[in-house]
Amino acid sequence: MGFWSGPIASLNLFNGHLTTLHWAGWSLGDPEMEKTTSEIKFCFSYQQVSLNWKFAEVYYALLHYQKCKPEHIFGIKGTFKLYDNFSLTGGLGYMLNKEKYLWSTGIVYNF
């Protein structure tokens, strides 16, 4: 488990069909282990480019920790509207260097 902190910037282009996310910062804990320490151990950057169409998103991300090999992540996400303010999300990603799958699910509430 870790803690990440840093500024985030995002661009929304072509009516939302192309989006980018840029995040750089510092991490507490070790990204390879399930532990957290009180020392700042890693600087990181996360860059993502997404193609969006209706409820689907296809993305590529580059995740780089200061002392680790850069990780390439490919994935797909879907968002399904349940009610006016509630949506259900789910996704599947693949970490190329680690050869691991990433699963995600969630419920989103928009105020």
What SS3 state is found at 69?
coil
The confidence band for 6, taking pLDDT boundaries of 50, 70 and 90, is confident
| pTM, two decimal places | 0.77
CA 51 to chain centre: 14
Say yes or no to pLDDT of 32 above 70. Answer: no
Per the structure, the complete domain to which residue 49 belongs is given by: 3-109
The residue that leads in pLDDT, 27 or 80, is 80
Number of domains in the chain: 1
Strands 8-13, 18-28: pairing kind: antiparallel
At 38-93, the pLDDT tens digits run 555 678 899 999 999 999 999 999 998 877 889 999 999 999 999 889 999 999 99
